[in-house]
Amino acid sequence: MFGYVMANKDALSEEERIRFGAYYCGLCRTLGHRYGTLGRLSLSYEMTFLSALLTSLYEPETVMGNERCLLHPRKKQKHLSNAYIDYAADMTIVLTYHKALDDWKDDHSLVGYSRARSLRNAYKRIESQYPRQLAQVTASLEELDRLEKAGCSALDPLVNAFGDLLGELFVYHKDMWSDTLRKLGAAMGRFIYLMDAYDDLESDRKHGRFNPLLSCCEQTDFEQRTLDNLQLLLGEGTVAFEQLPLVQDLGILRNVLYSGVWTRYRIIRHKRFGEEAKA
What pLDDT score was predicted for residue 165? 97
Q: Are the C-beta atoms of 20 and 12 separated by less than 8 Å?
A: yes
User: Tell me: the pLDDT tens digits for 138-163?
Assistant: 999 999 999 999 999 899 999 999 99
Task: Confirm whether 96 is domain-assigned.
Answer: yes
| Domain coverage including residue 81 | 9-278
Highest mean pLDDT among 34-43, 44-53, 270-279: 44-53
What's the CATH code of the domain at 48? 1.10.600.10
Mean pLDDT, residues 37-54 taken together: 94
Q: What is the pTM of this model?
A: 0.94
Number of folded domains in the chain? 1
Report the pLDDT value the prediction gives residue 276, as an integer from 0 to 100: 54
Summarize the confidence of residues 178-198 as an average pLDDT.
97
Q: Is 108 left (phi over 0), alpha (psi -120 to 50) or beta?
A: left
| Mean pLDDT of all residues in 31-35 | 94
Asked if residue 124 is part of any domain, the answer here is yes
**DSSP-assigned states of every residue in the chain:** ----S---GGGS-HHHHHHHHHHHHHHHHHHHHHHHHHHHHT--HHHHHHHHHHHHHH----EEEEE--SSSSSS-EEEEE-HHHHHHHHHHHHHHHHHHHHHHHHH--HHHHHHHHHHHHHHHHHHHH-HHHHHHHHHHHHHHHHHHHTT---HHHHHHHHHHHHHHHT-SS-STTHHHHHHHHHHHHHHHHHHHHHHTHHHHHHHT---TTTTTTTSTTHHHHHHHHHHHHHHHHHHHHTTS---TTHHHHHHHHHTGGGHHHHHHHHHHH-HHHH-
For 53-107, write each residue's pLDDT tens digit.
Answer: 999 999 999 999 988 877 777 788 899 999 999 999 999 999 999 999 988 887 7
pLDDT score, position 279: 45
> What residues contact residue 190 under an 8 Å CB cut-off, 6+ apart?
159, 160, 162, 163, 233, 236
Q: Is residue 4 part of a domain?
A: no
What integer best gives the mean pLDDT of the chain?
A: 93
pLDDT at res. 275: 54
Task: Please indicate, yes or no, if residue 3 is contained in any of the structural domains.
Answer: no
Residue 197 within a domain: yes
pLDDT tens digit sequence for 208-261: 999 999 999 999 999 999 999 999 999 999 999 999 999 999 999 999 999 999
Compute the average pLDDT of residues 9-13.
95
Comparing CA positions, the residue from 163, 95, 151 lying closest to residue 123 is 95
CB 252 within 8 Å of CB 48: no
Q: Please report whether residue 2 resides in a domain.
A: no
pLDDT at 103: 84
Q: Is residue 239 part of a domain?
A: yes
